[in-house]
Amino acid sequence: MGSGRLDKAEELQKETLGQWKRLKGADHSGTLLAAVYLAGIYSRQGRLSEAEILEVDVLEQRRRLLGENDPDTLVAESNLGNTYPGQSRYKEAEKLAAHVLEQRMKTLGRDHPDTILAVESVAQTYALQGRLEDSECLLLENLEVQSRIMGKDHPNTIKSMELLAFTYRSQGRLEKAEELRSEALRLLETRLDKDHPNTIMAAANLAAIYTLQSRLNEAKEMRVKILAPRQKILGEEHPDTISSMQTLGLIYMQQQEWGEALDKAEELQKETLGQWKRLKGADHPGTLLAAVYLAGIYSRQERWADAETLELDVLERRRRGSGENAPDTLVAESNLAETYRELKRYKEAESLAVHVLEQRIKSLGREHPDTMLAIASVAKTYTLQGRFKDSEGLLLENLEVHTKVMGKDHPHTIKATELLAFTYAAQGRLGEAERLRSEVLHQQEKRLGKDHPNTISAAANVAAIYTLQGRLKEAESMRIKILAQQRKVLGEEHPGTIVSMQALSLLYMEQRDLGEALCYLTPLVRVAMKKFGPQSPVTSDALYGLTAVLKGLGMSETDQMMYLVDLMS
């Protein structure tokens, strides 16, 4: 529903509520139902404080008129419990959800559909607080009950599978999430058909797992299949169609990070943002998310001022719509803090990052994944200001919590290890940095295999430490292996491959092995010219290095010019 239609719905519902109050009084069931509907509209608009006021009033009236445990009172508790998480009030949401579940169990039994819904509600409040194991236990039990009572292919059973898959995804257990989402997709294709909206949504959920697994070709192929039926059935301007185009563009961007592909991603994202604004208004969540994605593309292009403009606008709208400390507002602050770090505006970045951390600890506790990310953000800001002791203290504590809560081989734990290694490297503590980066490489090889992009990146980080330690032969050996893997997995023109060619050529130049340096600089210049054009910093650096090597090999200026002309023709 567009912002204009929501405004009209709000106007009509306010009028309806006023009429019920005037004709039947504030306590009448019709009045209370009208208030519930108006609260729902406020929630859709992101006006959670106004929704809460109505829902609290309805709940108080239900309790007074019907009693604490009446079915209508429990529904009112559920509605209010669904509003609190958007305000980061997770404990209050949990308390309401737990009471509803207790009463459902008592009056309806464990196998009743309303009890199953109540279990899901409690599980979701646990997940939002980072209590993923508790959430998983409830959802596993729920899935078993629904499979037994309703059958494996019942819509509610399939919904339970998706909830459990989402929990696995949050835990970094991507294979388990993939298994459930693949099964859900298969069941929906059998029950409905491939073009049904629910089937398409299941395919989108599975594509999201492929993306997280860096299986970008499979993710892209599935996203293309999703887009076609959405365009056909829903139309070009339907929100789901726009979201599909947006996600496909982001995958395309991930596969080719620079150059023409990134320009194409920018073009698509600008179009998507324009469509969201036109259809839903500037304050709609879809519009704001599109702006965030476009800012991300600007960041990849190192257009930090453009990214800042978008992120500031998103932050202001989040603060106005959801409040200073709402989860979406905190995410917007985190994004802007990252941009400020790149702009070397460290004090502004620190102010935002510290505020996010304070609110995360207050609402989620120290061990929630979002709190740990907030700590990492503050620590990075300290490192960039040369406050290494402050940064190290936070990162050591963070790594300990990550290891305890998520396990040594969880992706977030591995990322925390790399952040600490970066801080050690910045201090010149290369032995400690090497130890941590070697551990990261070991974990990535074990989890993902030697040819996975994340494993290759971890190997490159170890090679960088070897170079700083003056262990050039070891760095060279590792870089050669990395480049071979990247050419095989990513292709000759992938940005990661280009960076590796650059790193190898610099290693050979440092060792005065100009012949080998030439072997890498020549294809590097050719690829950089083709992919980025002559004005790109990547091309300029490669040309500068190539010219220096040709000169070092004793080539005359005329011969150098002829070599470059032949290379670029």
The per-residue DSSP string of 482-514 comes to HHHHHHHHT-TTSHHHHHHHHHHHHHHHHTT-H
Quote the tokens at residue 314: 């998103």
Distance CA 296, CA 260 (A): 16
Helix (H, G, I), strand (E, B) or coil at 301: coil
Q: Are 549 and 509 in contact (CB under 8 A)?
A: yes
**Of 166-175, 231-240, 398-407, which gets the smallest average pLDDT?**
231-240
Q: Is the pLDDT of residue 107 over 70?
A: yes
Q: In the structure, what pLDDT confidence band is assigned to residue 59 with cuts at 50, 70 and 90?
A: very high
Q: Is the pLDDT of residue 500 over 80?
A: yes
Q: In the structure, what pLDDT confidence band is assigned to residue 118 with cuts at 50, 70 and 90?
A: very high
Number of residues in the chain: 569
Helix axis angle, 197-212 to 155-170, nearest 10°: 20
Mean pLDDT, residues 58-84: 93
Q: Which residues contact 259 (CB under 8 A, 6 or more apart)?
A: 531, 532
378, amino acid identity: V
Q: Are 412 and 372 in contact (CB under 8 A)?
A: yes
DSSP state of 28: S
Report the CATH fold assignment for 481-569: 1.25.40
Distance CA 257, CA 493 (A): 10
Distance CA 288, CA 268 (A): 16
Q: Is the pLDDT of residue 244 over 80?
A: no
Q: 1-129 is classed in which CATH architecture?
A: Alpha Horseshoe (1.25)
What pLDDT score does 317 carry?
Answer: 93
Q: Are 439 and 403 in contact (CB under 8 A)?
A: no
Tokens 């939002």 appear where? 128
Helix axis angle, 453-468 to 495-510, nearest 10°: 20
What pLDDT score does 341 carry?
Answer: 95
Distance CA 18, CA 21 (A): 5
Q: Is the pLDDT of residue 257 over 60?
A: no
Q: In the structure, what pLDDT confidence band is assigned to residue 226 with cuts at 50, 70 and 90?
A: confident
Mean pLDDT, residues 451-467: 92
Tokens 């839903």 appear where? 280
Cα 238 from chain centroid (whole Å): 23
Distance CA 234, CA 226 (A): 12
Mean pLDDT, residues 94-120: 94
Helix and strand totals (H; E) in the chain: 27, 0
Q: In the structure, what pLDDT confidence band is assigned to residue 43 with cuts at 50, 70 and 90?
A: confident
Helix (H, G, I), strand (E, B) or coil at 499: helix
pLDDT tens-place string over residues 461-489? 999 999 999 999 999 999 999 999 988 88
Q: Is the pLDDT of residue 229 over 80?
A: no
Q: In the structure, what pLDDT confidence band is assigned to residue 254 with cuts at 50, 70 and 90?
A: low
**What is 93-132 written as a DSSP string?**
HHHHHHHHHHHHHHHH-TTSHHHHHHHHHHHHHHHHTT-H
Distance CA 200, CA 206 (A): 10
Q: How many CA atoms lie within 13 A of 425 on its CB side?
A: 20
CATH fold match for the domains 1-129 and 481-569: yes
Mean pLDDT, residues 201-210: 90
Q: In the structure, what pLDDT confidence band is assigned to residue 245 with cuts at 50, 70 and 90?
A: confident
**What's the Cα-to-Cα distance from 393 to each of 356, 379, 403, 420, 424, rounded to whole Å?**
18, 9, 16, 10, 12
- b/e map of 462-495 (b: 16 or more CB within 10 Å)? bbbbbbeeebbeebbebbeebbebbeebbeebbb
Closest-CA residue to 105 (of 91, 93, 119)? 119
CA 32, 33, 34, 38 dihedral sign is: positive
Mean pLDDT, residues 498-506: 90
Q: In the structure, what pLDDT confidence band is assigned to residue 242 with cuts at 50, 70 and 90?
A: confident
DSSP state of 151: -
Q: In the structure, what pLDDT confidence band is assigned to residue 224 with cuts at 50, 70 and 90?
A: confident
Count of beta carbons in the 10 Å neighbourhood of residue 288? 24
Distance CA 342, CA 336 (A): 10
Q: Which is more confident, 45 or 417?
A: 417
Distance CA 372, CA 222 (A): 33
Q: Is the pLDDT of residue 255 over 80?
A: no
Helix (H, G, I), strand (E, B) or coil at 56: helix
Cα 495 from chain centroid (whole Å): 22
| Best-predicted range by mean pLDDT (217-226, 381-390, 446-455) | 381-390
Distance CA 59, CA 468 (A): 64
164, amino acid identity: L
DSSP state of 258: S
Q: Are 549 and 514 in contact (CB under 8 A)?
A: yes
459, amino acid identity: A
Mean pLDDT, residues 148-166: 91
Q: Which residues contact 263 (CB under 8 A, 6 or more apart)?
A: none
Cβ-count burial of 415 within 10 angstroms (0-12 exposed, 13-18 middle, 19+ buried)? middle
Distance CA 327, CA 135 (A): 20
Q: Is the pLDDT of residue 366 over 60?
A: yes
DSSP state of 536: S
DSSP state of 533: -
Gyration radius of the chain's alpha carbons: 27
Q: Is the pLDDT of residue 532 over 80?
A: no
Phi, psi of 275 (to 5 degrees): -65, -45
**Of 337-341, 500-504, 533-537, which gets the smallest average pLDDT?**
533-537
Q: In the structure, what pLDDT confidence band is assigned to residue 256 with cuts at 50, 70 and 90?
A: low
What pLDDT score does 197 carry?
Answer: 83
Mean pLDDT for the chain overall: 88
Which pTM value belongs to this model? 0.68
Q: Are 542 and 502 in contact (CB under 8 A)?
A: yes
Q: Which is more confident, 357 or 278?
A: 357
Q: Is the pLDDT of residue 564 over 70?
A: yes
Q: How many CA atoms lie within 13 A of 265 on its CB side?
A: 26
**Domain spans of the chain, in order of start:** 1-129, 481-569
521, amino acid identity: L
Q: Are 546 and 521 in contact (CB under 8 A)?
A: yes
Dihedral, 368, 373, 376, 378 alpha carbons, nearest 10: -100
